[in-house]
Amino acid sequence: MSQTLVLLHGWGLNRAVWDTILPALSAQYDVHAIDIPGFGGAPWAPAFADIDTIADAVAADIRESTQHPVVLAGWSMGGLIATLIALRHPQLVERLYTVASSPCFGANPEAGWPGIDGTVLSNFEAQLGTDFKATLKRFLAVQAMGSPHARQDVKTLQATVLSRPMADPEALTAGLQWLARVDLRDQLANLSMPLHRGYGRLDSLVPLAVAEHLTTGTCTVFTSSAHAPFLNQPAEFCDWLTSPPVGD
């Protein structure tokens, strides 16, 4: 029986973001790409504004799909949720992969921690109230910054958004608040399973400097990628997920 790989998408997107690499991954895994509650038509509830509740809900979905521990991979915001699942439900996760993600997305210049400037996230949150579709498109463009194929990446990400129901505005707001406020750095040492962290060298949202501040798990850098290595270097990305780095 094939091992189960669970994929979690990033902010504003949905499970369709993985479609182009599913055939390659399915050669080794039983792949389950999940819509996080509030995204891609997955139901949203006010209680989900608490990221712990979201993590528990996704863990329940995983538990329904298989009785065996899974390989769990999360991209960007999905990596934050995947990390929480691994911390709160360690029996569900055999290996954890975080992709262009950070245990603390918000920058703290005084402490020397790299990340997203708080005003950027607060501005996006404010703009969601006036035109959330336009704000989502702008954020997708930010995700593609630095990519050698930025224009095509934006088109691909926008097509992903349109391929499934739009995200719930409350889920988008909650997601931005998680990115601004959640800090799991001290908890990484409590992970009981192997952690594999992947970064895009050209990423403007999660700069490579984040990797230099973390020591837990293995670190892989996709040298020709920005925030979406699975779009920029799909073959290398799939190899990474199917052949665990040394240190597993």
The domain that holds 182 is classified in CATH as: 3.40.50.1820
- What pLDDT does residue 224 have? 95
- Which residue is catalytic, options 35, 153, 168, 203? 203
* pLDDT per residue as tens, the chain (248 positions): 589 999 999 999 999 999 999 999 999 999 999 999 999 999 999 999 999 999 999 999 999 988 899 999 999 999 999 999 999 999 999 999 999 999 999 999 888 999 998 888 888 888 887 787 888 888 888 888 888 888 898 898 888 888 899 899 999 999 999 999 999 999 999 999 999 999 999 998 999 999 999 999 999 999 999 999 999 999 999 999 998 776 55
Question: In sequence order, what are the residues at sequence separation of 6 or more whose Cβ sits closer than 8 angstroms to the Cβ of residue 215?
Answer: none
Copy the structure tokens of residue 15: 């499970």
Residue 26 domain-assigned (yes or no)? yes
Domain that holds residue 86: 3-242
CB 96 within 8 A of CB 72: yes
Residue 247 domain-assigned (yes or no)? no
Q: Given CA atoms 235, 200, 147, 134 in this order, what sign does their dihedral have?
A: positive
Residue 25 domain-assigned (yes or no)? yes
Residue 71 domain-assigned (yes or no)? yes
Reply yes or no on whether 149 is catalytic: no
* Sheet architecture: strand order including 218-222: 29-34, 3-8, 70-75, 93-99, 195-200, 218-222
Reply yes or no on whether 203 is catalytic: yes
| Alpha-carbon dihedral angle through residues 248, 233, 165, 137, given to the nearest 10 degrees | 120
Alpha-carbon distance of 140 to 150, in angstroms, equals 10
Residue 248 domain-assigned (yes or no)? no
Q: What domain count does the chain have?
A: 1
Copy the structure tokens of residue 247: 């240190």
- Which residue is catalytic, options 35, 76, 101, 225? 76
Reply yes or no on whether 163 is catalytic: no
Residue 75 domain-assigned (yes or no)? yes
